Amino acid sequence: MALMMMNPAVALNQLLAYLAHSETTTLATFQPDLVILAGNSLPSLTLLAGEVAQKQHCPLLLVGGHGHATQHLVDQLQHADLLPLAQSTRGVSEAGLNGMVLARQGLQQPIYYERLSRNTGENARFAWQVVQRYQLSAKRVALLQDPFLQRRTWLTFVENWPLTTQFYSVNPELPQFRTLTPALKTVPASAAQWWSQPYLLALAVGEIQRLQDTPQGYGPNGAGFIPHVKVPVPVLQAAAALQQHYQLAAQIQR
């Protein structure tokens, strides 16, 4: 398919399907002994992590420090009525914010916290330190992250944890994008609130660039954060089409 002929929403849906790293087996079959929620800004994942821990009867490890995206998480949680506007959040880590929400939801399973990490690599390394500190069973880990970040997060944990640990990607129901401009429209409609349009487009295309094993990527030939990845050609074409479309659109608007 020629780059300029690919519908941008179709291209983004193709990127999401790849980046979400969906599993082919069920979570019940996997039977995790630990659930990890990596740092992100999607309230739906906070609730889903609690539901998975409760249903699977296993502890939940909340991961994420305080960084540039923390206020966005606060805003999202408050907008979703999961965090009271009067609740003091100054200096609270992302893990702490999610813990506040799940405490209000009445989660009965044990919660552990990693409050210092500022990026995906630290998410993985510092989470393993918490597992060791509390001697948690972590042979089968259910891992939750923003679907657009899930594949790289999964790879980063695989790279930094013992080979004896198996990871299972848990995703919310993946939305389908119908239009991207002038505003995001999705099915279900509520998913359009998960991301801002400029952030989402930069995130999706940027993730493909980071996954590629090039000097600019995160693989062994680049930063060395993740194992070698061979991104499928159709996914590369979708990313290129999306990038080209919005670069041209920006030039026209200027």
Q: Which pLDDT does position 4 carry in this prediction?
A: 52
Please state the length of the chain: 254
- Torsion from C-alpha of 175, 179, 183, 186, nearest 10 degrees: -20
Q: What are the pLDDT digits (tens) for 206-236?
A: 999 999 999 999 999 999 999 999 999 999 9
CATH classification for the domain delimited by 3-17+175-253, as one of 1.10.10.10, 1.20.120.140, 3.30.160.270, 1.10.3620.10: 1.10.3620.10
Residue 194 DSSP code = S
- Consecutive H or E run containing 133: helix 120-134
Confidence of residue 58 (pLDDT cuts 50, 70, 90): very high
Identify the DSSP state of 95.
Answer: H
What's the whole-number average pLDDT of the chain?
93
Average pLDDT over residues 39-59: 96
Q: How far apart are CA 115 and CA 126, in angstroms?
A: 9
pLDDT > 90 in the chain, percent: 83
Instruction: Show the beta-strand stretches assigned E in the chain.
Output: 34-37, 60-63, 111-114, 140-144, 166-170, 176-179, 185-187
CATH of 21-170, picked from 3.90.700.10, 1.10.3720.10, 3.40.718.10, 3.40.50.620, is: 3.40.50.620
The pLDDT of residue 68: 77
Within the chain, all domains assigned CATH 3.40.50.620 are found at 21-170
Q: What is the pLDDT of residue 6?
A: 86
Q: Looking at the chain, which residues constitute the CATH 1.10.3620.10 domain(s)?
A: 3-17+175-253
Q: Is residue 185 predicted with pLDDT exceeding 80? A: yes
